Amino acid sequence: MTMDRPFFVTTPIYYVNDLPHLGHAYPTVAADALARFMRLDGRRVKFLTGTDEHGQKVEQSARAAGVSPQEFADRNSAAFREMDRLLDISNDDYIRTTEKRHIRGVQALWRELERRGEIYLGRFAGWYAVRDEAFYDESELVEGKAPSGADVEWFEEDNYFFRLSAWQDRLLDYYEANPEAIAPRSRRNEVISFVKGGLKDLSISRTSFSWGIPVPGNPKHVIYVWLDALTNYITAIGYPETESAEFGVFWPVAHHIVGKDILRFHAIYWPAFLMAAGLPAPRRIFAHGWWTVEGQKMSKSLGNGVPPEFLVGKYGVDPARYFLLRELPFGNDGDFSHRAVVGRLNGDLANDFGNLAQRVLVMISRNCGAGVPEPGTFEATDTALLDSARGLLETVRAHVSEQAFHWALEAIWRVVGDANRYVDEQAPWVLSRSDPGRMRTVLYTLAETLRHLAILVQPFVPGSAGRLLDQLAVPEAERCFTALAEAPLRPGTRLPKPEGIFPRFVEEAVR
Ligand code: MSP
């Protein structure tokens, strides 16, 4: 049955000229939350990430480091895998563009485009920014630089071109027919107006350096790094074998998570390449915003890159994940500051959720013989809380399906807030003496609410949610979303000793 609802989610593949930092952790954590959510929701998921290893930028960085491009790529690709491990990323595959399966697929795509008359040999003369691995028109330059601020250089060489100009109308038709394909809406509008402004044919090969995939039949040329890189999304599912099991299931249901800086490549070039090769364009491309750090742009020279080891070492993996997904509306720019992280950590996590769980579990352990209490008759206030917990899945699902992770978390925390108010109002510590039967109903209501909350936060803070579910003695098989309605806590189930799940962040004393 799940075969009917496959879900394919990807991160950008990261350039190996840099080491991982917050800017890379962000799309990876977002894609991970999406993948985990869909798995728990019964979908058949493929979650792909990896590294982008060819091109002039990587070649230059390897040279500067005094090693071969392959050695350089091996080393830094391993650092991105380590980032995934640290951040508890649940990817099903990891693609490197230097792998055989990828090279073979890219060359096959090239041949297909050539066979269909989409490629011709011409002469390129124009501006190129190595940092962006992108061509720019004279009219796009801002004070002699690329719009991104990258330095540009003039170059002229014989290049193969892709007939991008011929795809303008069909791209516009694709955007029109699929209003959800490019998000957020403001970005979609930008893409549409760019395409309406007219498209030029795109240079898709280079001869002035050699670190890339050779053009089939003319190995003096290497394939343009963006054509190479974008193709990872299909080589990882078996392209050119379009009849293969994975390709048939996961294309075109792809959800590409990308930064706003690389939206043009994904929303214009990629669908055009695909359609030109006779393949459907992806289901959705979501462009997220950019983080600054303590108000400043992240840069190598400032050394303010915030590596994943720092994030996880200082704050812990789940708090870091929570912060990234809760702090900003996905799509907006924002600032990563120590103060803001500690605010969320001590506020939302430790005070609101952590305390709620701790209070409830400790009271159960002390007053109910360390087992799930037997409830009596539910009163309206109990049912109101339980109903708000039971209604969460639908709300959270709607937000997650639009990649509105912050709204999803906000909705979950609204119920955390309801539950905290309910504890205060019901005061089960008073009931323990005055009305133990009523206390058991109240504590059952709270424990069952916690079960809902813990199941629903798994995609975002998987380790902590798992520990909370352990403390509620929820078996592995009952942690998916169908269990929300089907497997309420069973009175009498023994519960382990309560342990805090979200510790407070305490600043180290400055001596
Ligand atoms: N290799 C290309 C992507 C090819 S995908 C077929 C690339 N790599 S990258 O390593 O430079 O960037 C990867 C992603 O990291 C981009 O989506 C970019 O938006 C994101 N970020 C890099 N710095 C960032 C911030 N400061 N904030 C948020 N995301 C940022 O581009």
What DSSP string describes 248-281?
Answer: HHHSS-EEEEEEGGGHHIIIIIHHHHHHHTT-PP
What's the pLDDT at 460?
Answer: 99
Q: In this predicted structure, what is the pLDDT of residue 510?
A: 63
Q: Is 51 helix (H, G, I), strand (E, B) or coil?
A: strand
Rounded to 5 degrees, φ, ψ at 204 are -125, 20
Q: In which residue are the tokens 């002390």 written?
A: 366
**CB of 153 closer than 8 Å to CB of 134:** no
- Helices marked H in 316-435 — which ranges? 317-327, 338-344, 355-367, 380-390, 392-401, 405-426, 428-434
Q: How many angstroms does the Cα of residue 405 sit away from the middle of ligand 1?
A: 19
How many Cβ atoms from other residues are within 10 Å of residue 489's Cβ? 19
The pLDDT score that the predictor gives to residue 511 is 60
Residue 52 CA: nearest ligand 1 atom is 1
Digit-coded pLDDT (tens) for 51-87: 999 999 999 999 999 999 999 999 999 999 999 999 9
Helix (H, G, I), strand (E, B) or coil at 214: strand
Whether the CB of 335 sits within 6 Å of ligand 1: no
How far, rounded to the nearest angstrom, does the alpha carbon of residue 247 sit from its chain's CA centroid?
Answer: 21
SS3 73: helix
* Residue 297 CA, closest ligand 1 atom number: 26
Mean pLDDT on 480-500: 97
CB 229 within 8 A of CB 10: no
Q: What is the DSSP letter of 145?
A: B
pTM: 0.97
From the CB of 262, is ligand 1 less than 6 Å away?
yes
Element (H or E) spanning 311, and its range? Answer: helix 308-315
Structure tokens given for 242 = 């379009």
pLDDT of residue 507: 86
* % of the chain beyond a pLDDT of 70: 99
Contact 215, 86 (CB under 8 A): no
Q: Write down the pLDDT at residue 3.
A: 47
* Secondary structure element (H or E) that encloses residue 122, with its range: strand 119-129
Q: Which two tokens stand for residue 207?
A: 């001869």
- 323: nearest Cα among 299, 340, 303: 340
Q: Which pLDDT score is estimated for 2?
A: 42
Ligand 1: does its nearest atom lie under 6 Å from the Cβ of 229? yes
| Tokens linked to 465 | 């949610």
- Compute the distance between CA of residue 25 and CA of residue 312 in angstroms, rounded to an integer: 11
User: Quick one: which atom of ligand 1 is closest to the CA of 261?
Assistant: 19
pLDDT in tens, 119-174: 999 999 999 999 999 999 899 999 999 999 999 999 899 999 999 999 999 999 99
Q: State if residue 270 touches ligand 1 by the CB under 6 angstroms criterion.
A: no
Distances (CA, A) of 216 to 95, 103, 277, 467: 22, 11, 16, 53
CB distance 306 to ligand 1 below 6 Å: no
Answer whether 161 contacts ligand 1 (Cβ < 6 A).
Answer: no
Regarding the beta carbon of 27 and ligand 1, being less than 6 Å apart is answered: yes
pLDDT confidence of residue 298: 86
Cβ atoms 93, 46 nearer than 8 A: yes
Ligand 1 contact, 258 CB (< 6 A): yes
Question: Is the model's pLDDT at 1 over the cut of 60?
Answer: no
In the DSSP assignment, the letter for residue 53 is -
380, two tokens: 């309206």
Ligand 1 contacts CB of residue 290 (under 6 A) = yes
Atom of ligand 1 nearest to the CA of 229: 6
pLDDT at 304 (0 to 100): 85
What average pLDDT does the segment 489-493 reach? Answer: 98
Q: What is the whole-number distance in angstroms between the Cα of residue 509 and the centre of ligand 1?
A: 36
CA–CA gap between residue 95 and residue 491 (Å, rounded)? 47
Distance (Å, whole) CA 146 – CA 409: 37
pLDDT digits (tens, 9 = 90+) for 241-293: 999 999 999 999 999 999 999 999 999 999 999 999 999 999 999 999 999 99
- Pick the atom of ligand 1 nearest to 14's CA: 10
Position 303 scores a pLDDT of 82
User: Which class for 145: exposed (0-12), middle (13-18), buried (19 or more C-beta within 10 A)?
Assistant: middle
Structure tokens, 130: 């190595």
Q: Does the beta carbon of 12 lie inside 6 Å of ligand 1? A: yes
Is 139:106 a contact under the CB 8 Å cutoff? no
pLDDT in tens, 417-473: 999 999 999 999 999 999 999 999 999 999 999 999 999 999 999 999 999 999 999
Q: What is the pLDDT of residues 359-405, one digit of tens each?
A: 999 999 999 999 999 999 999 999 999 999 999 999 999 999 999 99
Mean of the per-residue pLDDT values for the chain? 96
